[in-house]
Structure 1
Amino acid sequence: MIRTVLVAAGLAVGMTAVLAQADPIAARRDAMKAVGAATRDGAAIAKEQTPFDAAKAQAIFKVYADAAKAMPEFYPETAKMGGETTASPKIWEDKAGFQAAFARLGEAAAKGAAVTDLASFRTAFGEATKNCSSCHETYRIKR
């Protein structure tokens, strides 16, 4: 079940690149949903609600890596408003910082791709999700 969800999430992140041209707000929303699904699955592993499986863990970090690579392109100047976005204007005011946040997520995802056990997964997962939290804290409007 988790594998199917992770494959679908990975495909969703990849497909959002095509959608980004037509509707970048929808593309980033879809990519964030994929990251959210991977995070829920990762949390279940970290809390030992789901058994650790290296392939599942690597799939989670692949979703993160794909999103880190694609997401900065989903925030063009023309997509600041509309589409029920929660993107903060700080994204465009601090484009370098915003892009650096995704670079840090990509680095954390790369480290996570090498996990081999629950302990290393927890460490890498914690680092990746810490990046998610700090980016949301700075660049997302709370509703």
Structure 2
Amino acid sequence: MNFKTLFAAALIGSAAFSPAIAADEPQVVRQELMKKNGGAVGAMAKMVKGEADFNADAVLAALTSISEVAGSFGEYFPEGSETGFETEAAPAIWSDRAGFDAALAKYKTDADAALAAAPADLDALKAVFGPLTKNCGACHETYRLKKS
């Protein structure tokens, strides 16, 4: 094997290996969960704003996704994950863990209630969408660092 082949193999191997390590980091997992959550909220927001037609199946899929994220999100804030990987987690998560856990529990409860309501039309979606997204804003206000 010549040097160029060996070097290329080393680069490919390290490129493939690095993301696998980062993907297991709690900061990375919670960022991916928030992207998933944002996509679900965004899909419903388009319907609420009249930018997309109401689709009951898409709403149920979005609410299911949000409920799943809400149920596991808190697990990805262990001690020691306060920094790194461009986290936007605020120190208040760890200094007020009870408050953070309560905010997540409320979000999960509201997500489950919205899912159980199974909005069958736009008005029903609007009725559950507002309270659900208020949770997002309230949590981000206290427990998310402001982007510069």
TM-score category (smaller protein): 0.7 to 0.9
Over residues 41-82 of structure 1, what are the superposed CA-to-partner deviations in whole Å (9 max), with x where a residue is unaligned? 111011121111211111111111011111000000021111
- TM-score scaled by structure 1? 0.82
User: Is there any run of 5+ residues in structure 2 with no aligned partner, and where?
Assistant: 1-20
Secondary structure in 2 aligned to 1:79?
coil
In terms of Rg, which structure is larger? 2
Alpha-carbon distance between aligned partners in 1 of 2:71 and 2:101, rounded to the nearest angstrom: 10
Q: What are the residue-to-residue correspondences of 1:39-50 with 2, within 5 Å?
A: 39-50=41-52
State the match for 1:129 in structure 2: 133
Alpha-carbon distance between aligned partners in 2 of 1:65 and 1:119, rounded to the nearest angstrom: 21
Identity across the alignment (%): 38
State the match for 1:102 in structure 2: 104
The number of residues matched between the two structures is: 125
Alpha-carbon distance between aligned partners in 1 of 2:104 and 2:23, rounded to the nearest angstrom: 20
Measured on the aligned residues, the alpha-carbon RMSD in Å equals: 1.6
CA gap 1:107/1:20 in 2 versus in 1, 3 angstroms: farther
Alpha-carbon distance between aligned partners in 2 of 1:108 and 1:54, rounded to the nearest angstrom: 18
Deviation at 1:21, TM superposition (A): 8.9
Q: Are 1:64 and 1:105, in contact at CA under 8 Å, matched by a contact in 2?
A: no
- TM-score scaled by structure 2? 0.80
For 1:139, the aligned partner's letter is Y
User: Is there any run of 5+ residues in structure 1 with no aligned partner, and where?
Assistant: 1-18
Alpha-carbon distance between aligned partners in 2 of 1:130 and 1:20, rounded to the nearest angstrom: 31
State the match for 2:29 in structure 1: 27
State the match for 2:63 in structure 1: 61
